[in-house]
Structure 1
Amino acid sequence: MYFIGCTRFSLYIPGSNAWDISKVSEDNYLSQLYSDARMAARFDIFFNKAVPLYEDMAKRFFYKHVIQYSAVMPEKWKNKLFEEAAKYDFIVLSEAGENPISSTIKEILADRPSGTIAYFRVDDDDILSVDYLSELKNYVNENYEGMIVSFGCGLVATYVDGVFRDFRQCYRRFLALGLAFIGGYNAEKKEYWLPRYNGHETVDRHSPAIVDSRTPAFIWTHHEFQDTKVRSGGVAGAVSSRLKGYSRITSIRDYEKRFPTLKNEMKFLLENNEEILFLEKSRVSVDRVKFPTLNHKVSSKYVLEYSIVDEAFLHGIDKGVVNNRYLIIGFDILDSQGGLEVLGLNRSTDPDIGWYFYVSFVDGVANGRVEFSLSFKSNVCGLNFIKWKSKKPAFKINSMRLASESDD
């Protein structure tokens, strides 16, 4: 029984769908692919959150994890990759192009007896559970050779500013992460074979497939540095909107055992009820936009953190200009008892505005935090962005976070 995992660590693949040559130049693609922010996030998620879990699995099974990298990777990141990988004897580094994955697998299996193998892939920003191989081993024998195994239960999460900030239950079959191909190795011929693969979403059309969604097996990460942004160019449609179809976890029981490297972050989020509204750059160009929030427990204390850019700001001309009344952010607060009072916000006589505050811009940027307390526990149902003094500029929302704080 052999397990071989593979992670393509920020591979430069100009022919893939992640690079639309009609929209992104080669130089632009490379600069985005190996930007400091993107690479720092990859190293953090993979080596700090995922690899410790894989190391634990390597102690219990014959398991090698291949990390493919590109020759064009900048030296500082290549050196860091080699430095991190050297800490683990189950990791095998392989330069893509020079060593095809097939050759690397043959090298791993050389001098091993014939047996069943399971090959799977996981991206450098996704995470498999610490008991992934324990679940997969049920299908790694000659009775299942030629089949593909999809674990359809896991978590979908958002990652921003170096930490995970949201975890939700996810049921999604045939995701690429952790999709396992069961094949065989012939020691006499020194050859191996695996089921046919022609795109992860349609594997069951080419090979018999097993879907096992009984236990959480993965964390599917969403963040602003994902490769799909190369195609989309950062268009509106925040990362958080992708998660709205999934239910937020209400307990860390079971998850903390399967993802122990994320236990503290899960616990913190459950206790603080932080909600990420936007992680990708979203653009407000009309006079008024309403953003519904997601349900979290009612509270009497809230905090909103924001980062917004005034696109009409002219660098070098308007330097030092302070604009205090360009934009209003209003709050839809459920007044279930009547007579609600809010400390920290203004109250408009216009019922369509309600409780609000003015956003202050300096040099075209508004980075701030507003805290407010309610006279009794209630729920913030939505946020309203209203252009006020100026109707012309468009505003780009870099980030927006709402948290209901402890009432202690």
Structure 2
Amino acid sequence: MSTGGNMIFIGKTKFSVFSPVSGAWKATNGSRFKTRAEYKAYLFSDTRLEPRITIFTKYSLPQLELASKGHDVALLVSYSEFLPEKYENQLISAAAKYPFLILEKQELGKPHISLESIAKDKLQTSNDPLQPFGIFRLDDDDILPADYFEQNTPYIKNEFIGMQISHGIGISAIYKDGTFFNARRTYHPMLNIGYTSVHRFDATGNMSQLPIAGHNIADRSYPIIMDSRKIGYLWTRHAAQDTALGLVEVDENSLISSLKRHMDRHPAINDMEEVYRAFPVLVNQITNASTPESTREEMITKPLELEGPGLRLKPKPVGGSVRITAATTCDMKSEIRNSLISFIFVNHAGLRIDPTSLDEHFKNQPISRSGNSKIGWFRYMSSKPGLNRTVVNFTLPEGVYLAVANIVKWRKHDTKIVVTSLSIESTPSI
């Protein structure tokens, strides 16, 4: 239930509106398509529309329904007269299922329903026609958390009229074939997803002005309320979205690989339960692993300093392709090769495998076998002073599994080294 009363929120989503003269997007600014026909073919292609209609109707709208409990919410969805019939029918079916959905079929991209008129209608039937309300933005392939309007409710007040609300903390994940993967925690102040402006009508029936500045520079024109205490959005990435048009890759797998590289600057999610609470409809549909087929295990829950024998980690035995990602902080005395990570491999019965038996298999892989029998197979970790990130990739033969990973100091044992995170991800061999 709402803690601040039955607040009014009006949203706007553009579902493939044909606007060939717009310069706002790579799809329309002439950098990718040279003619209207090329742009139109792209805009209404199955490749572009299939993931969008699925994300919008299967995930985004059910989430919005959850978020709307205790509030009076409307979402205006504008779409083009050229939208293929099968997608228009899916929007019509969604509008029949979700009463808060208002469809606007535009001719030549010209709107005929305004957010102001929707707000006016709602206020006229409310207990207080002069109460403030929120206007929010939502792209057709992004998702808002189940408590989104609850997060905004404290700011839908008269003293905040003319301001915008931004939630900087969110989730970014790649969508493909019904699965969200490579989930990362992002911080993007003034991101467009769910951006909400606070309004009211005065006694003469005039609505406070809608912001006209771009969302990424909005704070230069009017005050922004920043609230990043909770997850505020899910930014979906996929090969068919406008932002992917600026990449040089053309096939889907290459585009997704490029998206991963762009997303790698953000940390992976280490608490998927937090994500499930924010996005209940994505339970069993979203993973922090780098591929839908992979599994990922976070091995530590808090920073741990390396002491004495080091850090011994025992994951669930994993085989196939293995990716280990570790983050460490080293003091100013640290030097190259000041720490290493070693591995113990076992067979299907859980018995340790003789390290020398894997010499041929690992011959061209980025791990080495130490002459020190206490070390076995290992990889030096990045250990320069300050923050470090080490990624180790290797593939195991059939019937061989990683059972233990040990992190130890090497050489200068008086150095302070703290392991801040470590994950082990595995993908089964095909």
Query: Normalising by structure 1, what TM-score?
Result: 0.68
**What are the equivalent positions in structure 2 for 1:83-102 lying under 5 Å apart?**
83-96=93-106, 97-102=110-115
- Say whether 1:70 aligns with 2:80: yes
Where 2:112 maps in the other structure, the secondary structure is coil
Which deviations, in whole Å up to 9, do the C-alpha atoms of 1:43-95 show, x marking residues without a partner? 11111111112112333101111111112212222122112222111111123
- Say whether 1:8 aligns with 2:19: no
Alpha-carbon separation, structure 1, partners of 2:82 and 2:404 = 50
- Say whether 1:17 aligns with 2:24: yes
Alpha-carbon separation, structure 2, partners of 1:379 and 1:45 = 39
Alpha-carbon separation, structure 1, partners of 2:183 and 2:224 = 28
Alpha-carbon separation, structure 2, partners of 1:132 and 1:58 = 9
Alpha-carbon separation, structure 2, partners of 1:268 and 1:206 = 37
Q: 1:66, 1:91 within 8 Å by CA — same for their partners in 2? A: yes
In structure 1, give the amino acid aligned to 2:174.
T
**What are the equivalent positions in structure 2 for 1:318-329 lying under 5 Å apart?**
none
**Partner residue in 2 for 1:166:** 182
Alpha-carbon separation, structure 2, partners of 1:203 and 1:180 = 12
Question: Which protein has the bigger strand share?
Answer: 1
Give 1:129 shift: 0.3
**Partner residue in 1 for 2:263:** 243
1:242/1:101 Cα in 2 relative to 1: closer, same or farther (>3 Å)? Answer: farther
**Partner residue in 2 for 1:176:** 192
Where does structure 2 lack aligned partners over 5 or more consecutive residues?
1-6, 297-314, 323-340, 345-353, 369-394, 406-423
Q: 2:165, 2:197 within 8 Å by CA — same for their partners in 1? A: yes
Alpha-carbon separation, structure 1, partners of 2:404 and 2:47 = 35
Identity between Structure 1 and Structure 2 (%): 26
**What are the equivalent positions in structure 2 for 1:248-263 lying under 5 Å apart?**
248-263=268-283
Alpha-carbon separation, structure 2, partners of 1:371 and 1:74 = 48
1:259/1:351 Cα in 2 relative to 1: closer, same or farther (>3 Å)? Answer: closer
**Partner residue in 2 for 1:155:** 171
Alpha-carbon separation, structure 2, partners of 1:300 and 1:340 = 20
- Say whether 1:38 aligns with 2:48: yes
Which deviations, in whole Å up to 9, do the C-alpha atoms of 1:337-373 show, x marking residues without a partner? 6936569xx748667899xxxxxxxxxxxxxxx9844
Alpha-carbon separation, structure 1, partners of 2:365 and 2:68 = 61
Where 2:189 maps in the other structure, the secondary structure is coil
Which deviations, in whole Å up to 9, do the C-alpha atoms of 1:281-305 show, x marking residues without a partner? xxxxxxxxxxxxxxxx78541259x
In structure 1, give the amino acid aligned to 2:166.
S
Alpha-carbon separation, structure 1, partners of 2:427 and 2:273 = 22
Alpha-carbon separation, structure 1, partners of 2:49 and 2:397 = 37
Which deviations, in whole Å up to 9, do the C-alpha atoms of 1:137-157 show, x marking residues without a partner? 010010111111101111111
Count of paired positions: 318
> Larger C-alpha radius of gyration, 1 or 2?
2
Alpha-carbon separation, structure 1, partners of 2:316 and 2:39 = 44
Q: 1:121, 1:180 within 8 Å by CA — same for their partners in 2? A: yes
Residue of structure 2 aligned with 1:80, choices 90, 95, 108: 90
1:120/1:404 Cα in 2 relative to 1: closer, same or farther (>3 Å)? Answer: same
Where 1:253 maps in the other structure, the secondary structure is helix
Give 1:261 shift: 0.5
Give 1:228 shift: 2.5
Residue of structure 1 aligned with 2:244, choices 210, 216, 229: 229
Give 1:378 shift: 7.6
Alpha-carbon separation, structure 2, partners of 1:351 and 1:257 = 40
Alpha-carbon separation, structure 2, partners of 1:192 and 1:246 = 39
1:202/1:350 Cα in 2 relative to 1: closer, same or farther (>3 Å)? Answer: closer
Alpha-carbon separation, structure 1, partners of 2:177 and 2:233 = 21
Alpha-carbon separation, structure 2, partners of 1:190 and 1:221 = 38
In structure 1, give the amino acid aligned to 2:32.
K
Alpha-carbon separation, structure 2, partners of 1:272 and 1:176 = 31
Q: 2:9, 2:73 within 8 Å by CA — same for their partners in 1? A: yes
1:272/1:75 Cα in 2 relative to 1: closer, same or farther (>3 Å)? Answer: closer
Alpha-carbon separation, structure 2, partners of 1:29 and 1:265 = 32
Q: Once superposed, what is the RMSD of the aligned Cα atoms?
A: 3.5
Alpha-carbon separation, structure 2, partners of 1:110 and 1:351 = 66
Q: 1:252, 1:263 within 8 Å by CA — same for their partners in 2? A: no
Which deviations, in whole Å up to 9, do the C-alpha atoms of 1:171-199 show, x marking residues without a partner? 2110000111011123x533322453311
Residue of structure 2 aligned with 1:200, choices 202, 211, 215: 215
**Partner residue in 2 for 1:377:** 402
Where 2:24 maps in the other structure, the secondary structure is coil
1:110/1:340 Cα in 2 relative to 1: closer, same or farther (>3 Å)? Answer: farther
Q: 2:141, 2:236 within 8 Å by CA — same for their partners in 1? A: yes
Worse-matched range after superposition: 215-224 or 258-267 = 258-267
Alpha-carbon separation, structure 1, partners of 2:13 and 2:166 = 17
Alpha-carbon separation, structure 2, partners of 1:150 and 1:222 = 20
Alpha-carbon separation, structure 2, partners of 1:104 and 1:342 = 71
Where does structure 1 lack aligned partners over 5 or more consecutive residues?
276-296, 305-333, 355-369, 381-401
In structure 1, give the amino acid aligned to 2:402.
K
Alpha-carbon separation, structure 2, partners of 1:101 and 1:60 = 24
Alpha-carbon separation, structure 2, partners of 1:243 and 1:145 = 35
- Say whether 1:116 aligns with 2:132: yes
1:341/1:39 Cα in 2 relative to 1: closer, same or farther (>3 Å)? Answer: farther
1:350/1:45 Cα in 2 relative to 1: closer, same or farther (>3 Å)? Answer: closer
